[in-house]
Amino acid sequence: MADEEEREFASPPCSLGEVDPAYAGLDGAGGLNDWRKAERERLIALRMAIPASDRAELGERIAAYLEALIGDPAGLVVSAYWPFRGEPDLKPMLARLRERGAITALPVVVKKAHPLVFRQWQSGNRLERGVWNIPIPADGAEVVPDIAIAPVVGFDPLCYRLGYGGGFFDRTLAALLPHKPRLFGVGYNVQAIPTIYPQTYDIPMDAVVTEVGVTTA
């Protein structure tokens, strides 16, 4: 495992990622938005087709790579997420980080078109239903993460993240500047795509972690 942790994994480059969106037939906001919507549907279906028992095993592989990237978590605020629609479950990893001295947190959608906030949370803390019925901390104090881990719907070799389309994560990162946390995207290897056709508002991850390793731009 030690040798693997020192390796850098990346998806092979693809010339499609260098093509202008207009050349690919995606010129105009409508073309790109329609393409991203179709990709989201395709990639989410791929993710949800992975059997639950397999997702649990893959999630632990992802967590091992993440913990190696994080290093000593003592005193760090680490935010992850509550898994939704087949996303890797990192709750066991958060518990381990907490035992090693981290402050753990979950993101909360306050309202549409606003940045997320992050609330402290650990296993056993009270939860309530948030947007899309995803559990969120009911009472946790708001914190600013040193490390923010976000699920990806898709990702490309430059570590740009295709999300759900609400813009919450990019809006949040812009609000946190210049004190940007370390950003780790997580997903499964089947979610790799040649490019998301990044726009000016898209902010790349520092790394994207899957069950096969770590991609860095």
Q: What is the model's pLDDT at position 134?
A: 87
On whether the 19-215 domain is CATH 1.10.3720.10, my answer is no
Q: What is the model's pLDDT at position 112?
A: 75
Per-residue pLDDT tens digits of the chain, which is 217 residues long: 333 333 333 333 333 433 444 444 565 557 999 999 999 999 999 999 999 999 999 999 999 999 999 999 999 999 999 999 999 999 999 999 999 999 999 999 887 767 889 999 999 999 999 877 889 999 899 999 999 999 999 999 999 999 998 878 778 877 776 788 999 999 999 999 999 999 988 889 999 999 999 999 8
Write down the pTM of the prediction: 0.84
Q: What is the model's pLDDT at position 13?
A: 34
Give CA–CA dist 192/4, Å, rounded. Answer: 20
Q: Where are the domains of the chain?
A: 19-215
Residue 181, token pair as written in the block:
């946390």
Q: What is the model's pLDDT at position 66?
A: 98
Give CA–CA dist 175/59, Å, rounded. Answer: 30
Nearest-CA neighbor of 48 among 137, 159, 130, 151? Answer: 151
Q: What is the model's pLDDT at position 83?
A: 95
In contact, 193 and 217? CB cutoff 8 Å = no
